[in-house]
Amino acid sequence: MPVFDLAATPLRALNQALHGVAPGANDTEFEVLNPRGQHAVAVGIDGPVTVTVRGPVGYYCAGMNDGGTVTVQGSAGPGVAENMMSGTVVIEGDASQYAGATGRGGLLVIKGNAASRCGISMKGIDIVVHGSIGHMSAFMGQSGSLVVLGDAGEALGDSLYEAKLFVRGSVKSLGADCIEKPMRPEHRAHLAALLDRAGVADVRPEEFRRYGSARKLYSFNIDNADAY
């Protein structure tokens, strides 16, 4: 297994090695030591590689991930898994602002808490947060699911389009055009599958509430002018 010690090796060497894995290659498991909060660790993966990062990372870890499996044994700075296309990113500690922003696919699991704007403008990514999330999360979310086992901060789902939000704890406030919706059997099944994929075993879908768009702000309507 290739091991990159970022205390001794430049980050660029790691990312080039990750990008250079040929289709069908066998040696696809990477270990990263001493990230010490560096930015852009394991960014731009475009194949089925597995990366284990032992320590905290800075901005944009696993950004644009397409097919890789990245596990961070520590906390992550702003923008983790930003614009992920597919694959899995697991943060074992906390994540900073805008985790999973604009993500188009794949699964982001945060085992600690996430800060503000988690899943902002999400476009298909699934995000499961074991702890709580900060304010303005899922702002302008377009598709995908955000699952929160803890609490949500202010203005959850502000100006939401079609992303599905499930929160087990309290919600400080809902943003413009975000409403609570009934949990029907198909939603419980969808949530159960997500919890299963994220390795959450001790929590039942019935414990969550579902939130989504009231669909009143989708397109300009003069009757809603005050709400824009």
Which CB sits closer to other proteins, 5 or 27?
A: 5
Alpha-carbon span 74 to 96, nearest angstrom? 12
Pick the closest to residue 165 from 118, 114, 101 (CA basis).
118
Gap between the Cα atoms of 73 and 157, Å rounded = 29
48 vs 150, beta carbon nearer other proteins: 150
Q: How far is the CB of 93 from other proteins (least distance, A)?
A: 8
Residues lying near other proteins in the complex (CB under 8 A) are found at: 36-38, 56, 58-59, 75, 77-78, 94, 96-97, 115-116, 134-135
Residue number, 28 or 113, with CB nearest to other proteins? 113
Cα gap 154→31, rounded to integer Å? 37
- Least separation in angstroms between residue 163's CB and other proteins is 21
Residue 17: DSSP 8-state = H
CA distance linking residue 47 with residue 171, whole number of Å: 37
Provide, rounded to whole angstroms, the least separation between the CB of residue 202 and other proteins.
25
Alpha helices by DSSP H, the chain: 11-19, 185-197
Nearer residue to other proteins within complex by CB, 103 or 134: 134
Q: State the nearest-atom distance from the C-beta of 40 to other proteins, in Å.
A: 12
